[in-house]
Structure formats: C-alpha cells, structure tokens
Amino acid sequence: MSMQVAKTLDLKGLSCPLPIVKTAQAIKELASGELLEALATDPGSVADFKAWCSSTGNELVEQTEQDGVYRFVIRKK
C-alpha cells in the first residue's frame, strides 16, 4: 500500500517539546485526511507523538525507527 505524504518535517536534532510544536504548526496547513511525515531523533518523541495524536484526534498511521531516526506518519483528522 502506497501512502501519499503531503508534507515531510525534518525534526532531527530537536528535543522535546520542539518536534511536537513544529508538527502541530505544520498539520494546520494540511487538509483533513492528508498525511504528514515527521522525522525525529529524540527517543522521547515516540511517547510524545503517541500522546499528542491521542489528545488531538489525529491518527498515528505508521511509526518506525531506523539508525536512530524515528519516522512518524500522521493523518490529519
């Protein structure tokens, strides 16, 4: 299944709370149903993104980690 990502955020090197703050700002620019990809290196971002999606109603579609880079794909509600 191929996903069409509308926007990619490079959040590598940022620590809490900046990855979530920048994601919250960027997702406002998207239409409902569009996908946002966020790339982060902060290990705490795993829990942060899960909690943020849960509290905002946005869907965490995919979460992976490779070579210390965490990738999150979020569908805007």
Catalytic positions are 16
Q: Are residues 30 and 67 in contact, defined by beta-carbon separation less than 8 angstroms?
A: no
Burial of 66: CB neighbours in 10 Å, binned 0-12, 13-18, 19+ = exposed
Among 62, 58, 69, smallest CA distance to 27 is for 58
